[in-house]
Amino acid sequence: MSAGCRKGMVINMRRKIFGIVLNVILVVLGLVTVYPFIWMLFSSFKENKEIMALEQHLLPSAFTVDNYINMNARFNFMRFFANSLLVTIVVTLAVVYTSTLCGFVLSKYKFKGRNILFGFVLSTMMIPWCVTIIPKYSMIQSFGWLDSYKALIIPAMFSGFGIFNMKQHIATLPDEILEAARIDGANEFFIFHRIIFPMAKNGISSIAIFQFLWTWEDYLWPYLVINTKEKQLLAVGLKMFSGQYSTDYGALFAATAISIIPVLLIYIIFQKQFIAGVASAAVKG
Amino acid sequence: MFKKSHPLQSKSEIILRDIVVVAMVLFFSVFLIIPIGIAFAGSFHEWNPLSGTYRFLGLENYKEVIVNPLFWKSLWNTIIFSVVVIIFRVGLGLAIAYAIYSALIKYKSFFRSVFYMPVVTPMVAVAFVWKFMYNPQIGTINQMFGLDVNWLMNPKTALAAVIVMTIWKDFGYAVVMYMAGLYSLPADALEAAKVDGANAWQNFRYITLPLLKSMTLFVVITSIISYIQAYVQILIMTEGGPGTATYLSSYIIYDEAFVKYNFGYASALSFVLFIITAIFTWLSFRVSGNEE
């Protein structure tokens, strides 16, 4: 056997071992990443005495769904869930529509002031929540929108982040398709709804899931503008619940699981388009 | 013909454009520009909605921000929090993305999806999960490592505990960003380096890393902006305590505005924080030598 060949084999072996080590590291890191979710989920099916026991196991020794029943019976938790779902879906649909529309106009139309407008949209993303939230709260109060879902939906209808991402995304769609449709006599409303919208699928799914998550997890704004308990959203409900039943860990685990699962499900279903959309905006941006 | 610029705009194009421009300008004026103006004016006033006070103070609120030791403490905490989280986010993100990108890993999109999971879960809920994990009575962390530490109640460990949780939640974002960056690299540059006999490390250090500079800048700047505003994990996990160990600047604003209703003072704090964000963003542009 020649020296070169042996050297090649050694390199091959080293490469193989290195590959195994790398895979093991990634699997361990992956387990660390999902462990909190698994622990939460299993704990939500344990009895309180098992959660508090000195000796603990990951799997529940006596499987129970009482926590889920208690959480809802004591606190009407599913009401918060339904409220959140409604508000989140409305806001997400609105933001997807306005972002795609603004993104289309800003990327495919040439007009005076377009770049200024786009620069302005970009700069809105730099403004911290804390600068505007106090006056926004006072404004909503003076509009008489407190304690109504108008306060949650209307100020959230346009998103700088959404417009920016959709502009970047739609800019990559070929102009020729638009030109062809125009020559065929299609008006701009048709072009937007029937051509741009379906073609911008990846961009849409990425801003949709982000917007869904942000509205779903938003704490401070619903906490400020909604006063009636029955109208409150999930994130605030979770905090209220933990304030009242701070030691009923089983029910708390169940409530937490309920707040996380819908978002995770949507993510798992749409992850492909979603990740493609997130990444493409950043590469171009 | 009208191929490039299509100067003859159709009527529907003009209508659509006008609707969109007017709607955008109107919306952002009402919910952004005017509020910024009101907050700026308010920062020079004693402004309390409960007592109905709105009295001109001049620079008094800003002076008070500067002499408030809690503000400086919170700023220091915010800097430690942000710097540590960003270092781990960028470091872990880059290392993991590069590992997944390499030919040695088979299930690339599986790993990517797993690491991204915490990013898409609601902060309030995962903050609760981690609060329970740190709990000395029911928590899994002490159990796992056979420790007896009250992580969130000990001033020495509380901020670190919140930092660890935040890194766990956010590193996946950097993984996805760097993977996108890696897959968009020009293949010929990497190929040329291989032909020139560059080893794996040289390849990474002198070819890949410089090409990923703009992605790193993007991750760092979006991180700075979001971490200076972070408060939810504090609200759920520690409420700033024990003592002032985990006060972050945004949490003070929350506390002043919506617990104590000092709207004027909270507005002044917000502007100071905004300026600090702008300075750090500008600094990271300067450090990276990217002047766009």
Q: Tell me the three state secondary structure of residue A168.
A: helix
Best A21, A59, A88, A130 member to test B by mutation, with max B CBs in 10 Å, is: A130
C-alpha closest to that of A216 among B254, B255, B126, B168? B126
Q: Is A98 on the interface with B (CB under 8 A)?
A: yes
Residue in B with minimal Cα distance to A258: B125
Sign of CA dihedral B63, B64, B69, B75: negative
Tokens of A68: 């889920």
Residues of B in contact with A111 (CB under 8 A): 17, 21
B6, two tokens: 């299509």
- Compute the distance between CA of residue B121 and CA of residue A260 in angstroms, rounded to an integer: 6
On whether the CB atoms of residues A106 and B16 are closer than 8 A, the answer is no
CA distance B219 to chain A (A): 9
Cβ A29–B168 below 8 Å, yes or no?
no
Q: Which of B109, B138, B270 sits opposite A131 (nearest CB)?
A: B270
Give the span between the Cα atoms of A81 and A71, in whole angstroms. 12
Nearest CA in chain A to B235: A239
Q: Is residue B22 a contact partner of residue A102, using CB atoms and an 8 Å limit?
A: no
The pTM of this model reads: 0.89
Residues of B in contact with A165 (CB under 8 A): none
Can you identify the CATH homologous superfamily of domain A77-284? MetI-like (1.10.3720.10)
> Best residue in A131, A142, A159 to probe B by mutation, most B CBs within 10 Å?
A131
Tell me the C-alpha distance between A213 and B45, whole Å.
36
Tens digit of each residue's pLDDT, chain B (292 residues): 444 445 557 888 899 999 999 999 999 999 999 999 999 999 999 999 888 889 999 999 999 999 999 999 999 999 999 999 999 999 999 999 999 998 888 888 899 989 999 998 999 999 999 999 999 988 889 888 888 889 999 999 999 999 999 999 999 999 999 998 898 888 777 777 777 777 888 888 888 888 898 899 989 988 998 999 999 999 999 999 898 999 999 999 999 999 999 999 999 999 999 999 889 888 888 887 654 4
Question: Which of left, alpha, beta for B79 (phi over 0: left; psi -120 to 50: alpha)?
Answer: alpha
> Between chains, do B122 and A263 touch, taking CB under 8 Å as contact?
yes
Q: Cβ A279–B179 below 8 Å, yes or no? A: yes
Structure token pair of residue A1? 């056997």
Mean pLDDT of chain A: 89
pLDDT at position B3, please?
Answer: 44
- The tally of CA atoms less than 13 A away on the side-chain side of residue A214 is 18
Cα pseudo-dihedral A79, A82, A87, A90, rounded to 10: -160
Residue A270 phi, psi dihedral angles, 5° rounding: -105, 10
Instruction: Name the residue with higher pLDDT: A278 or A196.
Output: A196
Q: How many angstroms separate the Cα of A110 from the Cα of each of A106, A113, B19, B197, B228?
A: 8, 9, 15, 48, 36
Tell me the chain B residues in contact with residue A133 when contact means C-beta distances shorter than 8 Å.
Answer: 257
In whole angstroms, what is the distance from residue A256 CA to residue B287 CA?
A: 41
pLDDT tier at A29, thresholds 50, 70, 90: very high
Task: Please answer yes or no on whether B176 and A139 come within 8 Å at the CB atom.
Answer: no
Asked if the Cβ–Cβ distance from A158 to B28 is below 8 Å, we say yes
Q: What is the pLDDT of residues A94-117, one digit of tens each?
A: 999 999 999 999 999 989 899 999
Chain B CA closest to residue A12: B104
Average pLDDT for A253-278: 83
Residues in chain B within 8 Å Cβ distance of A249? 132, 138
CB contact under 8 A, B250 and A128: yes
Q: Tell me the CA distances in angstroms from A82 to A1, A12, A85, A88, A230, one per residue in order.
A: 72, 57, 5, 10, 11
Contact call for residues A149 and A84 (beta carbons, < 8 A): no
Q: Do A33 and B109 touch (CB under 8 A)?
A: no
What domains are defined for chain B? 11-61 (no CATH), 65-288 (1.10.3720.10)
Helices (H) and strands (E) in chain A, counts: 15, 0
Report phi then psi at B48, rounded to 5.
-135, 110
What is the Cα–Cα distance from B263 to B199, expressed in whole angstroms?
A: 59
Enumerate the residues of chain A whose CB falls inside 8 A of the CB of residue B118: 33, 36
DSSP string for chain B? --TTT--S--HHHHHHHHHHHHHHHHHHIIIIIHHHHHHHHHTTEEEETTTTEEEE-TTHHHHHHHH-HHHHHHHHHHHHHHHHHHHHHHHHHHHHHHHHHSTT-S-HHHHHHHHHGGGGS-HHHHHHHHHHHH-TTT-HHHHHHT----TTTSTTTHHHHHHHHHHHHHHHHHHHHHHHHHHTS-HHHHHHHHHTT--HHHIIIIIIHHHTHHHHHHHHHHHHHHHHT--HHHHHHTTT-STTTT--HHHHHHHHHHTS--HHHHHHHHHHHHHHHHHHHHHHHHHHT---
CA distance B130 to B161: 9
The one-letter code for the residue type at B6 is H
How far apart, in Å, are the Cα atoms of A97 and each of A159, A165, B107, B150?
10, 13, 35, 47
Task: Identify the pLDDT of residue B1.
Answer: 40
Instruction: Report the gap between the CA of B26 and the closest CA in chain A (Å).
Output: 11
Q: How far is A239 from chain B (nearest CA, A)?
A: 8
Q: What is the pLDDT of residue B289?
A: 67
Q: Which two structure tokens, joined as six digits, stand for B48? A: 């309390």
Interface test with B, best of A29, A54, A134, A249 (most B CBs within 10 A): A134
3-state secondary structure of A232: coil
Rounded Cα distance between A162 and A152, Å, is: 17
Check CB contact under 8 Å for B176 and A19. no
Domain boundaries defined on chain A: 3-43, 77-284
For A68, how many CA atoms within 13 A lie in the half-sphere containing its CB? 13
Return the closest-CA partner of residue A150 out of A78, A231, A80, A81: A231
DSSP reduced 3-state for A114: helix
- The minimal CB distance from B113 to the residues A43, A219, A271 is found for A271
The verdict on whether omega for the bond into residue B242 sits within 30 degrees of 0, i.e. cis, is yes
Distance CA A132, CA B35 (A): 5
- ipTM of this predicted structure: 0.87
Chain A residues close to B263, C-beta within 8 Å: 134, 138
Instruction: Name the pairing type of β-strands B45-48 and B53-56.
Output: antiparallel
Chain A residues closer than 8 Å to B5 by CB: 110
The length of chain A is 285
